[in-house]
Structure 1
């Protein structure tokens, strides 16, 4: 899901997120990716003028629509910042939209200006996603939230299989980690057992509404955060369950503006 975003004009603050030591197998100068633990409160805003003052340790914001100054300002008060990037659908308003070949653009996904991508064409999509993830890294983001990584469950216009999705999602995770970014698995509950080791956290929409939150337990048991949102349920209808599971749960409006209600 994607909404056009109005960037925050912010004064850059000194300092960044907490420094991490490089891992033994990482190239020189590559930081160890941030590993968010269960229970972290968060703010998810993809629309409207960014509210930079929510008192939480994690923000998830659009990677294209915010500059390094915004990320640095959030880092300046100790906030980790996740870069939202759509990897499963073409979006006609993005500055790199013309780089995606027409033949890779499938059916619309229900959101204006978006069409599913043919994720079987990994050799074509890999350098395009690499440029997007480079952008996230260069702006100083700590992590990536790659959206729409369950196209094989949808009517995309392409005969996508579960194996196609696994291969694509692993490629996405690899691209993020090569850049020192942690990476979240967005929805795609069916493939959690196969992808748990490839992803550092999860982002989920409406698991409570569909009675599926327990399926996210492997992330929690592995010490990995699950950032969760409901749109149609009131907090009192699900917070007891999801808090007990260890999820970081919010109620949000569908347009993902600044408003939030946390469990």
Structure 2
């Protein structure tokens, strides 16, 4: 199965690369009949199960066990460096790989530490690589016979997870696969493993398939550019998060093939299915506009503002925001279903409407129109204060800062922000539900509370009070991190969750530990990006071997699968860095 490639050591090495990609002619390393996928084509990733490709798709990748999509350029997915769970391999059983093909240490087969049920193939000697390549020929032959145009050998990066393997062995093995694939008229991809991209041409690799290579995924490092430096425009980018798609599209839309899929790459029509391409380009398959917002209401006004609310629109993929119009002219954008239009003239009537939009750039029809007059002489019809913020928690500290989070307040019109108090004195304002108070003395305990406010100037009662001590002056800053959890998608019987771990210290972390308590019977069923233990509702999660280092001020997204209902609200996560 496909998995995101997050090699932080590689990311650090790439951070010194040049800032501008130079697009070269893609390496071919074979006869003229070898044809890589068309550059910049509309791509669909279907290795989790085949389905009719959306309109406009030109290139599809599917598992070798199924047939290609008629009339398109098809890539055949092969797990060439590891076994599959269905192969019957365990630590002591060779399953369908009996005959010396498996990597053994102390007599035991070596399981991928991040992907249970997958075991490493032994590429440590020339003889073993030749034998493995010969065994793979049967699968490559099947791909060619079915009509695929290229192969996608996965787990090229297995040497980064198994101490008994090296990059030079991986390169020697994939070059054998490239030679045989070319002899069958098939192009061959490099899957992830950006650190080996400079050697691709000499190995006979024709194009790249890169998962989560954008700056949004790699803590500011541009792995996508590194692939483009080696493969030219023959690069296919697969992102799994909205931020990753946005970052990749901002830099490479119209140049490289870019798609966002759900982490499990489920077929269209299945729960949790996600597929998006760059807005307004790349042959987007999403041409369906959201439904028009309904129930637009003016919920209040002051002498200089009007507050609005409406019922959310729906969309086949997902609504990304709303454009607000005053007297027919766009005046702002909202991510949710409320908006306050300010800077208005007193005692004046304005007309408003709202349109919804999605990631592909489709815009809905306008909502109903509503009229509302501002107050005269500074009066306001809103005298109701927001509810007090709840659940104020100190989520971390350094020698000079304290990080806070809390549960949002509610208001009859809308909360516009939060005032943060330290030892009874206001020290700052937050637009959301987190705040970091900096410039503090080391080894000192501070008390905090928070108050919510609305557009009319009404202020809530104070939240609960929380105390937090800063670290001692000798601290490296590595004890500071924060973590927040959210839902990314749902499926039958559960959901996928994402925890954003932020380093609030002054130097890079070496590792991090998260703890939280589920409010119900939720259980982690697939850890993906974390190691974890769960006792009852209490969870302790730590970084994997490759994901512990987070640069100062940077964040890391850890994803995992949960069985059970989606909690509301999500539990508070405590983060400790080392």
Aligning the two structures, in what range does the TM-score lie when normalised by the shorter sequence? 0.7 to 0.9
Match of 1:47, SS state, is coil
Number of paired residues? 226
Distance in 2 separating the partners of 1:34 and 1:41: 17
2:227 match: 216
Structure number with the higher helix fraction is 1
Query: Cα–Cα, structure 1 residues 39 and 93, in superposed 2: closer, same or farther, change >3 Å?
Result: same
2:239 match: 230
Distance in 2 separating the partners of 1:254 and 1:192: 24
Query: Cα–Cα, structure 1 residues 49 and 43, in superposed 2: closer, same or farther, change >3 Å?
Result: closer
1:160 match: 165
Query: Cα–Cα, structure 1 residues 41 and 109, in superposed 2: closer, same or farther, change >3 Å?
Result: farther
TM-score, normalisation: structure 2: 0.36
2:251 match: 241
Query: Cα–Cα, structure 1 residues 91 and 220, in superposed 2: closer, same or farther, change >3 Å?
Result: closer
Match of 1:241, SS state, is helix
The answer to which of 45-54 and 111-120 deviates more is 45-54
1:260 paired residue among 253, 271, 275: 275
Distance in 2 separating the partners of 1:139 and 1:100: 27
1:115 match: 119
1:145 match: 152
Distance in 1 separating the partners of 2:199 and 2:165: 17
Query: Cα–Cα, structure 1 residues 215 and 111, in superposed 2: closer, same or farther, change >3 Å?
Result: same
TM-score, normalisation: structure 1: 0.77
Coordinate RMSD, CA, aligned? 2.6
8 Å contact kept, 1:99–1:128: no
8 Å contact kept, 2:133–2:173: no
Higher relative contact order, structure no. (Cα contacts within 8 Å, ≥ 6 residues apart): 1
The answer to which of 230-239 and 187-196 deviates more is 230-239
Match of 1:108, SS state, is coil
Q: Residues 152-205 of structure 1, C-alpha deviation per residue, up to 9 Å, x if partnerless?
A: 222x2x521221111012112112111110111101111111113411110000
Alignment of 1:62-77 (within 5 A): 62-64=63-65, 66-67=66-67, 71=68, 74-75=70-71
Distance in 2 separating the partners of 1:50 and 1:238: 25
1:21 match: none
Distance in 1 separating the partners of 2:142 and 2:238: 26
Match of 1:193, SS state, is helix
The answer to which of 104-113 and 52-61 deviates more is 104-113
The answer to which of 131-140 and 94-103 deviates more is 94-103
2:48 match: 47
Match of 1:89, SS state, is coil
8 Å contact kept, 1:43–1:54: no
8 Å contact kept, 1:38–1:220: no
Distance in 2 separating the partners of 1:242 and 1:110: 30
Larger-Rg structure: 2
Matched, 1:92 2:98: no
Matched, 1:200 2:206: yes
How many Å apart are 1:220 and its aligned residue? 4.6
Structure 1, gaps ≥5 residues long:
4-24
Structure 1 stretches of 4+ moved >3 Å: 94-97, 99-105
Q: Residues 101-121 of structure 1, C-alpha deviation per residue, up to 9 Å, x if partnerless?
A: 464342224234211222222
Match of 1:238, SS state, is helix
8 Å contact kept, 1:170–1:195: no
Distance in 2 separating the partners of 1:167 and 1:201: 18
8 Å contact kept, 1:40–1:225: no
Alignment of 1:18-57 (within 5 A): 32-48=33-49, 50-57=51-58
Matched, 1:106 2:106: no
Query: Cα–Cα, structure 1 residues 135 and 113, in superposed 2: closer, same or farther, change >3 Å?
Result: same
8 Å contact kept, 2:34–2:187: yes
